[in-house]
Structure 1
Amino acid sequence: MALHPVVEQVTKRIIQRSRASRAAYLAHLEAARIQGVQRGALGCTNLAHAIAAFPVNDKLKLREAKVPSIAIVSSYNDMLSAHQPFEYYPRVIKEAAREVGAVAQFAGGVPAMCDGVTQGQPGMELSLFSRDAIAMAAAIGLSHNTFDAALYLGICDKIVPGLLIGALHFGHLPGIFVPGGPMTSGISNKQKAAIRQRYAKGEATREELLEGETASYHGAGTCTFYGTANSNQMLMEMMGLHLPGAAFITPGTPLRDALTAAAAHQAASISQQGSNYMPIGRIVDEKSIVNAIVALHATGGSTNHTLHVVAIARAAGIVIDWNDFDELSKVVPSLTRIYPNGEADVNHFQAAGGPGFVIRELLDAGLAHEDVNTILGHGLRNHCKEPFLGEDGKVVWRDATPHSGDDSVLRPATNPFRDNGGMVLVQGNLGRAIMKISAVKPEYHVVEAPALTFDSQEDFLRAYKEGQLNRDFVAVIRFQGPRANGMPELHSLTPALSNLQDAGFKVAMVTDGRMSGASGKVPAAIHVSPEILAGGPLGLVRDGDIIRVDASTGALEALVPDDVWASRSMASADLSKGHIGMGRELFAMFRTHSSPAEQGAATFPLPSPIPTTVPLHDGVDSNEVVPGSDEDFLFRTQK
């Protein structure tokens, strides 16, 4: 199938836009590859430190530079249900590495916080920047430079993007992402949402609410709705960074353990000591980033990835923006209905066909690039598979099912739920913002109503509880951007806004903060960029201004005369109290140095050229090929 012209056009534009920074990134990658790991060059004292605690047999192997050493970088903690299963993964990985003549070491842990716990709490103001802290922690774990490949253990919201950003800064190392899988299904997401709305109205007790929540979030594994955590997993599948179909196999099962062991085997195979060298910096390129955006749209994924995918791309020297998301969303059909865009959860999605089905459909429809590198080599078609447990207890793969097992959850590209991805760019005199409308009824795609401004979500909820919001309005939640307070999710506002909409009022939200991977039925223009602290016009809005939020035309406007608008001064707020307590003081440097939301709210720079000429590979003059080019990479891998 020929590539869709819009996918081709967007890809070419990204390649051109990224030419200088991507070349710089590849030059850094090549320099690190040539330098190689230091294990063979370490002084005796240094090497002794690196292997001191290792079992004797592994220690002997590590003294041999030709034996692959696999780093384990894990986000394990036993408070997060999604990450608790990682407790025993290092043992499985070490045993599997020995089976193929390699060794594995636990290189380091990274922090992992739960947005479900911190929603509406001060800790949420650390959440977005925990992504870059995770990247830094991963880099520290790998900085000993004694490893030949890495396995990255993570699932949830900021953890996978953070791990991938860290991995890309060691782009010469092969890397595989190892998930833990979703918890088994509890009560339906529809039931859970209904209890939350009843509680917001005062019609349900706290005991009833807690009973409903614990019946939903009830065991080990990631939450089963299609929020940021499970969107992460779909994107890792689409980018070829998982073993095929690894995302949604539940924890504590023989198949889950077999997949983990197989990941260790494959990591050894794609190391430089193996026969199929494939560094992660060569997997994540412009085409794979486009594939990730396509998969996000096709599955109705989290709006948080309009930040995270941008930041991931940036780490690999690739520059994307919200225009790219918007143009692709217009041509990528919606193939899934998973909560909050439907009633099913990810276990139902997996049973209906799962990621392999989606990847095949997108490739067959010409909506994704097949000619990309993955952890299995070259070609995304290798990932149109589903894993099963073989008779010997090891994982085997079969082609993804040709037909959906449930067309109310998963459909082919020839019969989609909708002919677009349900994510739109809106812009106007209030800035640029993202709207996710896949769960918003068409009659709510346009809201025009007076503004009510709030400087915190607490102010909004106070007004709601006092009965002040029983009217048509657009809630403008200000000072929620990365520089102001770390850009927290405002998901705790969802039940109140949903109740007001159900009561017949026209309501919408406009904010420079985030909403959630679980954004639902209320129209919300989020991530407004630039934020107020960067001079963004959201600070010029006053109560009573008529605001137009129009997902159909892409308009985000304050309908205020130009002369009145120009005469206004920027709103101000005392943000100092929000910078103290719960560790927020430690994140001052992140707030100060954050890029705008559309640039990923990142605190690290794009790659810049290295100052000296780098030799490309042994025995080849540097004038023969372009530094770090695909031709050079192919030469070395085929040599």
Structure 2
Amino acid sequence: MNTRLHPTIDHVTRRIIERSAGPRAAYLATVAQQRTSGPQRAGMGCANMAHTTAALPANDKLKIHAERTPHVGIVTAYNDMLSAHQPYETYPEFIRDHARTLGATAQVAGGVPAMCDGITQGAAGMELSLFSRDVIALSTAVALSHNVFDAALFLGICDKIVPGLFMGATQYGHLSAAFVPAGPMTTGLSNDAKAKVRQQYAQGLVGRDALLESEAQAYHSPGTCTFYGTANSNQMLMEIMGLHLPGSSFVNPGTPLRDALTREAVRRAVMNTGRTGGEAICLADIVSEKSIVNAIIGLVATGGSTNHTIHLVAMARSAGVLIDWDDFAELSAVVPLLARVYPNGSADVNHFHAAGGMGYLMQELLGAGLLHGDVTTVMGQGLATYTQEPWLDGNTLAWRPLPQQSGDTSVLRPVSEPFSPDGGLRLLRGNLGRSVVKVSAVKPEHRVVRAQAVVVSDQQDLLSLFNAGQLEKDVIAVVRYQGPRANGMPELHKLTPPLAVLQDKGFKVALVTDGRMSGASGKVPAAIHISPEALADGPIARVMDGDWITLDCERGVLELEVDAATLAARTAKHPDLRHNAHGTGRELFGLFRSHASTAESGASPLFGDRP
């Protein structure tokens, strides 16, 4: 498309390119060296090759030994505890069979762990969640370290899994690669109805049986949870970056179209090796400064998960691209909100997909000069193909133009009639540090809160105060010592229902924390990811009960109303956090906690900078 790029997007992209010049050049040099040397199969010792192919069928062995056809490695996050990943159980054989029809071969290179934040919310296991991303990155690198593959397919969906797979995959950026989704479960109990029961349970109006029945009706079958949290934000990111096939992110599991898209992903990975007559396209060709900017644009245009103000930073750094929260905020200021998907609306991702989905979204953004179209994707050059939708012409997969109008403007709108003129992701600055807030689901009348602080160092303490009726007032809840160094930065999703109850009663309510909220954070303003965190002697460690705080989402201000001299004179008294280091495997993650970077640099012990 010839539409002129928006000047702010051009400016931010140029700034990122300049900022990243050194690390990006070093990354690309490593990729070039690996690309030149290629897989080691040709020079392998006979014993090494025998180990590689020992368990394979005879015909596959012959092909690999002859070194004439592409060999595809599969890195899978399959387990059947996560509904989103359960469909992957049958993918390896499906992929192997289809690779053979293409004259290629495929093996499962390795598996990576996949944990569910929905299961571990509020429990000790959640303190392993963020760093599971870095474990997945390490596991991906181990899986591909045998260096016998020409291409790789990455099977993953949920919160930390896709970022971790991505971070590991970039270390093998010389390979042809594609990410392969499995799709969302069909629509169950509406998100509004589910949220209502959660709030009723928080108030003691219904019991556990009613709550469990409600949740089971919402999360009811194989496939990704249908709300627009981090898992589905992951899928959006992979598609808008060109690492998924066009229109493939939100096709339900177990359907003929889903199977056809998976077969095509295998074909593309094989073709992009350049060994079967196609153009050679490697992962590092696709992942660039422009594709990272496109990812941020997609995030803010859809009201995606705030977790990606951490994950996307770490993902970009793994490919030598340096981004920060200023980039998110400046892009959010000029990119309109085009989607309303729960928790930013009542619809789920199935409704979003039916209304036009990713194809319509990118069509609108490209047409308005709000997206880089001149990028490389698994389909080749440019994003034009991504403005089409996949369909089955008989048994043949094809792409066709989308309608020029949204199928449902209550879910998905054109740039000319957005839900909001900006993306709703704001950077907050002040004497408490830097943090982010997502306001796309926060009503305008709730976006400015001035109230006295109630300070706790554990989310359970705040829940206890709520249950005791001690929060029936205007309040800013300060929940600290929840950063990556303190306890692995668990999500504080359990705080959403009680704070929403207080807001519904007419109180001015907000949350201030150095921790994370769920990808489903919603209608209560929440200043999250405060950097520096309390354990790193950030100012949040010196807030006291009763201090006045102003949280102003409109002006981008988070201010503790204490003069600088008084604040400096206060001594932070860190609580005893030794319990965070024991039980549920937390002993194993001490190295990760002690070497974690700030949230703004990705909260990673692998690719972040120490504060």
SS at structure 1 position matched to 2:14: helix
User: Which residue is 2:154 aligned to?
Assistant: 152
> Residues 145-171 of structure 1: CA distance to partner in whole angstroms, max 9, x if unpaired?
000000000110000011011100111
2:46 to 33, 44, 47: 44
8 Å Cα contact 2:238/2:244 also seen in 1: yes
1:92, distance to aligned residue in structure 2 (A): 1.2
Secondary structure at 1:330 match in 2: helix
Q: Can you list the C-alpha shifts for 1:359-409, whole angstroms capped at 9, x where unaligned?
A: 111111001101111111110112112111221x23211122221111111
Within 5 A, what are the aligned runs for 1:235-634?
A: 235-274=237-276, 275-391=278-394, 393-605=395-607
Which stretch of structure 1 is more off in the superposition, 490-499 or 560-569? 560-569
Matched letter for residue 535 of structure 2: L
Partner amino acid, structure 2, of 1:328: L
Please state how far the C-alpha of 1:451 moved relative to its aligned partner.
Answer: 0.6
**Equivalent residue for 1:21?**
23
**Residues 434 and 528 of structure 1 are in contact (CA less than 8 Å); yes or no, is this contact kept in structure 2?**
yes
- Shift in alpha-carbon separation, 1:520–1:239, aligned structure 2, 3 A: same
Letter in 2 for 1:142: L
Mapped partners of 1:21, 1:12: distance in 2: 15
Specify which of 223, 229, 232 is matched with residue 230 of structure 1: 232
Match of 1:10 in 2: 12
Describe the SS at the equivalent of 1:509.
strand
Contact 1:235 1:296 in 2 (8 A): yes
Q: Do the aligned partners of 1:183 and 1:220 also contact (CA within 8 Å) in 2? A: yes
**Aligned partner of 1:207 among 206, 209, 215:** 209
Deviations 1:261-305 (A, max 9, x none): 111111000014232211111211100000000000110000000
Distance 2:510 2:344 in 1: 18
Q: 1:596 to 1:44 in 2, by over 3 A?
A: same
**CA deviation after TM superposition for structure 1 residue 605, in Å:** 3.6
Letter in 1 for 2:342: Y
Residue 185 in structure 1 maps to residue 199 in structure 2: no
Q: C-alpha separation between the residues in 1 aligned to 2:328 and 2:577?
A: 32
Of stretches 511-520 and 269-278 in structure 1, the one that deviates more from structure 2 is 269-278
What amino acid does structure 1 have at the position aligned with 2:376?
A: N
Residue in 1 aligned with 2:170?
Answer: 168
Q: Which moved more, 1:278-287 or 1:77-86?
A: 278-287
Contact 1:317 1:606 in 2 (8 A): no
Q: Secondary structure at the match of 2:263?
A: helix
Alignment CA distance shift 1:180-1:240 (3 Å): same
- Tell me the distance in 2 between the aligned counterparts of 1:461 and 1:535: 25
> Per the alignment, do residues 455 and 23 of structure 1 end up closer, same or farther by CA in structure 2, a change over 3 Å counting?
same
Q: Cα offset for 1:606?
A: 7.0
Give the drift of 1:41. Answer: 0.8
Alpha carbons 1:96, 1:262 under 8 Å: kept:
no
Structure 2: where are the runs of 5+ without partners? none
* Contact persistence 2:482–2:489 (CA under 8 A): yes
Give how far 1:330 is off: 0.4
Given residue 19 of structure 2, which amino acid in structure 1 is its aligned partner? R
Is 1:105–2:119 an aligned residue pair? Answer: no
Task: Tell me the C-alpha RMSD between the 2 structures.
Answer: 0.9
User: Match for 2:448: what amino acid?
Assistant: V
1:83 to 74, 82, 85: 85
Give unmatched runs, 5+ long, in structure 1. 608-639
Cα displacement (A) at 1:556: 0.6
Tell me how far apart the structure 2 counterparts of residues 605 and 327 of structure 1 sit (CA, whole Å). Answer: 24
Query: Could you report, residue by residue, the CA deviation over 1:529-583 in whole angstroms, capped at 9, with x for unpaired residues?
Result: 1111222110010111101100011101100122211111113111111110011
- Cα distance between partner residues in 2 of 1:384 and 1:39: 39
Residue deviations 1:425-463, cap 9 Å, x none? Answer: 001000000000000010111000001100001111111
**Whole-Å separation in 2 of the counterparts to 1:60 and 1:381:** 40
The code of the aligned residue for 2:431 comes to N
Opposite residue 283 of structure 1, the aligned amino acid is I
SS in 2 for 1:63: helix
Shift of 1:140: 0.7
Using a 3 Å threshold, how does the CA distance of structure 1 residues 197 and 605 change in structure 2: closer, same or farther? Answer: closer
Cα contact 2:477–2:511 (8 A) shared by 1: yes
How many angstroms apart in 2 are the aligned matches of 1:2 and 1:296?
21
Q: How far apart, in 1, do the equivalents of 2:408 and 2:563 lie?
A: 52
Contact map agreement 2:129 2:490 (CA 8 A) in 1: yes
Cα distance between partner residues in 2 of 1:458 and 1:267: 47
> Residues of 2 paired with 1:394 and 1:28: CA distance?
39
How many angstroms apart in 2 are the aligned matches of 1:504 and 1:128? 34
The letter for the 2-side match of 1:482 is P
